[in-house]
Copies of this chain bind each other. A is one copy, B any other.
Amino acid sequence: MFNFTYYNPTKIVFGRGTIAELPQLLPEKARVLMLYGGGSIKRNGVYDQVCAALMKRKFSEFSGIEPNPRYETCLKAVAQIKDKGSDFLLAVGGGSVIDATKFIAAAARYKGKDPWQLMFDWSLVPADTLPLGCVLTLPATGSEMNQGAVISREETQEKLVLHSPYLYPRFSILDPETTYSLPKRQTANGIVDAFVHVTEQYLTFPADAPLQDRQAEAILLTLIEEGPKALRRPRNYAVRANLMWCATQALNGLIGCGVPQDWATHLIGHELTALYGIDHAQSLAVVLPGVLHHQLKRKKAKLLQYAERVWKLSRGIANVRAVKAIEKTEQFFRSLGVGTRLSDYKIPAEAAELAAARLARRRARLGEHEDLTGKEIAEILRSRV
């Protein structure tokens, strides 16, 4: 096991009816800015629940945060905060809204000229970043209980990651009932996203960390079991609750303690989203099988463990079992309705060279060995046409 530090101060308030607890979670006298996306929370009743809970509070609103939230949109929110003097941000939505809110919280207190610099130097995130809380409505990214955010910039077609301990939400309310009305595509995307968060921290090389391995497998097995049920029975509370807790646990730092991490799939996937606008989870479903096949030799020990414990493949030649486990993964994504090939999204074959060149230009060295450069990235993507 490697040395590690684990710190996660986000308070999770989980279950039916918990939005009503908002008044006790918000600091007294906070001037709250509620941030949300395109209006689905108005259709599914979450907006009304939040307003009812905030009844006796003064609060203002900022809406229109898009999927793959944009820097340009965030800057508008920052201007509104400075104008209104808001001092607590309440994100109501999925990972995009929460990620945007994190960036906005930091940018609102950033003293430099160009807040985009935060993405390149995380130490610039101000210690007095605005506090934030969340009402989660889409289990997927884990942003509700971690210190990360991903922001896209239209002007430069960049999609970059921000990390800082100042970005942990103070609290996150997770009411599974808020996810009953999610479209199938978003439910499926969330399952794939959580699944790949786990594999990024699990499918690397053995590091004498059997507990972390089993904690990772616990999430994978539960996603495989509960995911298809959620598509069939979208209003089943237990199923929705289990998916929601899986997604949070997949990326709150715990399973990554003391083990090697990959993240190549995410970083390559971000380029596909930046270039072609496909959903984040779609990009992961395309890239992951490619990374695993390409790195089969070096990931073999963990792939075999994955094959046996997650897919119950314990017989036959080792190489065949490893390949079968990758195929099972791809089949699982497809069974949820998430395409796993570039052609499923009408992305041209030239995407391979284009995405690889962009990462090479940023001198990316991806994977747990930090040695996947432009050449390997292009190979991986060419295999996903």
Contacts and interface: CB of A to CB of B under 8 A. Distances in A.
A62 interface: no
A209 to B, nearest CB: 7
A308 B344 CA distance: 41
A208 B5 contact: no
A242 interface: yes
B1 A5 contact: no
Contacts of A10: 7
Interface stretch (A46-54, A86-94, A213-221, A286-294): A213-221
Contact of A3 (B15, B210, B246): B15
B6 A11 contact: yes
Contacts of A214: 214, 217-218, 221-222
A14 B6 CA distance: 8
Given A8-B8, A9-B9, A242 B211 contact: yes
Interface residues of A, number: 41
A16 interface: yes
A300 to B, nearest CB: 20
A24 to B, nearest CB: 11
A241 B4 CA distance: 12
Contact of A15 (B14, B211, B258): B258
A156 to B, nearest CB: 36
A226 B210 CA distance: 9
Given A15-B258, A211-B246, A257-B14, A238 B5 contact: no
14 contacts: A1-B14, A1-B15, A2-B15, A3-B16, A5-B11, A6-B11, A12-B257, A208-B242, A210-B222, A210-B242, A211-B218, A211-B219, A211-B242, A245-B258
Given A1-B15, A3-B18, A4-B12, 10 more contacts: A5-B11, A6-B14, A7-B11, A14-B258, A208-B238, A210-B222, A211-B218, A211-B245, A211-B246, A214-B221
